[in-house]
Structure 1
Amino acid sequence: MAHHDPTLKKASHRTRSQAAEQRRVVAGTVIGTSIEWYDFFLYASAAGLVFSQLFFEPMGPQAALLVSFASVGLSFLFRPLGAFLAGHFGDRIDRKAILMVTLIGMGAATTLIGVLPTYDSIGIAAPILLILLRILQGVSAGGEWGGAVLMSVEHAPVDKRGLFGSSPQVGVPLGLLMASGMLALMSVVAPGEAFLEWGWRVPFLLSVVLIGVGYFIRHGVQESPVFAEIAQRREQTRAPVARLFGGHLLLVLVAALVFAGNNAVGYMTTGGFIQNYSTNPEGAIVLERGPVLLAVTASAVVWLVFTLVAGWLSDRIGRRSAYIIGWCAQLVGVGTLFPLVNTGQVGLLFLALAVLSVGLGLTYGQQSAMYSELFPASIRFSGVSITYAIGAILGGAFAPTIATALLQATGTTLSITAYLAGMTLIGLVATLLLRDRTGIPLGPDHEEEQAVSPLYGSGRKARA
Structure 2
Amino acid sequence: MKRAVLASLIGATLEWYDFILYGVVAGIVFNRLFFPAQDELVATLLAYATFAVGFVARPVGGIVCGHFGDRIGRKSMLVLTMMTMGVSTVLMGLLPTYEQVGLAAPLLLLALRVLQGLALGGEWGGGVLMAYEYAPAHQRGLYASIPQVGLAIGLCLASGVVGLMSSLLTEAQFLAWGWRAGFIVSIALVAVGLYARLAVAETPAFTQARASGPKIEVPLLELLKNHSGSVVLGMGARYVEGVFFNVFAVFSIGYLANVIGISRTEALWAVSSAALTMVLTIPLFGALSDRLGRPATYAVGSLLLALCVFPAFVAFHTGNTAVIYGAMIVAFGIVYAMCYGPEAALFSDLFSTGVRYTGVSFVYQVSGIFASGVTPLVATWLLEVGGHKPWLLCGYVVFAGLVSMTSALLIGRRQHRHGSPTDQAAATSTAVSL
Instruction: State the TM-score, normalized to the length of structure 1.
Output: 0.88
What is the 5 A alignment of 1:97-112? 97-112=76-91
Aligned with residue 343 of structure 1, among 309, 318, 326: 318
**Runs (4+) off by over 6 Å:** none
> Deviation string for 1:14-73 (max 9, x for gaps)?
xxxxxxxx1111111111101100000000001011100001134510111111112111
Higher Cα Rg, which structure: 1
Aligned residue in 2 for 1:442: 422
Q: Does the 8 Å contact 1:258/1:391 carry over to 2?
A: no
Question: Kindly tell me: are residues 113 and 447 of structure 1, through their superposed partners in 2, closer, same or farther at Cα, counting changes over 3 Å?
Answer: farther
Tell me how far apart the structure 1 counterparts of residues 25 and 321 of structure 2 sit (CA, whole Å).
20
What is the 5 A alignment of 1:66-77? 66-77=45-56
**Other structure's SS at 1:343 match:** coil
Aligned with residue 65 of structure 1, among 28, 44, 58: 44
Matched, 1:306 2:281: yes
Runs of 5+ unmatched residues, structure 1? 1-21, 450-464
Aligned residue in 1 for 2:331: 356
Q: Which letter maps to 1:57?
A: P
Aligned residue in 2 for 1:78: 57
Aligned residue in 2 for 1:167: 146
What is the 5 A alignment of 1:52-451? 52-58=31-37, 60-233=39-212, 235-270=214-249, 272-280=250-258, 283=259, 285-357=260-332, 358-411=334-387, 412-435=389-412, 437=415, 442=422, 445-446=425-426
Deviation of 1:297 (Å):
0.4
Q: Does the 8 Å contact 2:294/2:342 carry over to 1?
A: yes
Runs of 5+ unmatched residues, structure 2? 430-434
Matched, 1:32 2:11: yes
Deviation of 1:105 (Å):
0.7
Q: Which letter maps to 1:217?
A: A
Deviation of 1:249 (Å):
1.9
**Other structure's SS at 1:78 match:** helix
Tell me how far apart the structure 2 counterparts of residues 189 and 225 of structure 1 sit (CA, whole Å).
48
Q: Does the 8 Å contact 1:30/1:167 carry over to 2?
A: yes
**Other structure's SS at 1:336 match:** helix
Instruction: State the TM-score, normalized to the length of structure 2.
Output: 0.94
- Which stretch shows the higher mean deviation, 319-328 or 122-131? 319-328
Aligned residue in 1 for 2:432: none
**Other structure's SS at 2:95 match:** coil
Tell me how far apart the structure 1 counterparts of residues 299 and 115 of structure 2 sit (CA, whole Å).
35
> Deviation string for 1:51-102 (max 9, x for gaps)?
0000113451011111111211111111110011011000111210101111
Question: Kindly tell me: are residues 59 and 256 of structure 1, through their superposed partners in 2, closer, same or farther at Cα, counting changes over 3 Å?
Answer: farther
Tell me how far apart the structure 2 counterparts of residues 402 and 276 of structure 1 sit (CA, whole Å).
14
Question: Kindly tell me: are residues 441 and 66 of structure 1, through their superposed partners in 2, closer, same or farther at Cα, counting changes over 3 Å?
Answer: closer
Question: Kindly tell me: are residues 443 and 219 of structure 1, through their superposed partners in 2, closer, same or farther at Cα, counting changes over 3 Å?
Answer: farther
> Deviation string for 1:393-443 (max 9, x for gaps)?
121111111000011112111111101111111110111111364995738
Q: Which letter maps to 1:51?
A: F
> Identity percentage over the alignment?
36
Deviation of 1:446 (Å):
4.9
- Which stretch shows the higher mean deviation, 220-229 or 248-257? 248-257
**Greater fraction helix:** 2
Task: Note the aligned Cα RMSD (angstroms).
Answer: 1.8
Tell me how far apart the structure 2 counterparts of residues 252 and 207 of structure 1 sit (CA, whole Å).
33
